[in-house]
Amino acid sequence: MKPVLVISDRDNVATALQALEPGRQLELGGGALAVRDAVPSGHKIALRAIHAGEAVVKYGSPIGLATMEIPAGAHVHTHNLASTRGRGDLDPAASAPEPRLAEPVDERNGR
């Protein structure tokens, strides 16, 4: 079995088909890749450096944005990749703070 699978030429991550240990050298079509982190089987490994804010691409389509600098060979998962879809937690309109109670009025100075 191949250690990793690259689905599309446009992808910047590959899927590990077996557990990968740090330090292992992978021979890929485009050259060698040094495994940087332990990557469980089924999880993703960066094929090249991906900058914070850059799209992570699998199946030839974006699957979210890198939340930090991701070096080549790193494990790519929830710690460094986040979805951009259905994110009510990021929507300023929806996540407006709870309505605040009126400020206590200082009767002496009329405020």
Interface residues with another protein (CB under 8 A) are 1-2, 5, 7, 15-17, 40-44, 58-59, 61-64, 76-78, 81-91, 93-95
Measured from the CB atom, is 19 or 34 closer to another protein?
19
Contact 36, 72 (CB under 8 A): yes
Measured from the CB atom, is 64 or 72 closer to another protein?
64
Q: Is 65 helix (H, G, I), strand (E, B) or coil?
A: strand
Q: How far is the CB of 43 from another protein (least distance, A)?
A: 4
Q: How far is the CB of 109 from another protein (least distance, A)?
A: 37
Instruction: For residue 45, give the amino acid letter.
Output: I
**C-alpha angle 65-70-73 in degrees, rounded to nearest 5:** 125
Q: How far is the CB of 23 from another protein (least distance, A)?
A: 21
Task: Kindly tell me the burial class for residue 23, based on how many C-beta atoms sit within 10 Å of its own C-beta (0-12, 13-18, 19 or more).
Answer: exposed
Measured from the CB atom, is 1 or 32 closer to another protein?
1
Measured from the CB atom, is 15 or 72 closer to another protein?
15
Q: How far is the CB of 69 from another protein (least distance, A)?
A: 17
Residues 6+ apart with CB under 8 A from 24: 3, 34, 35
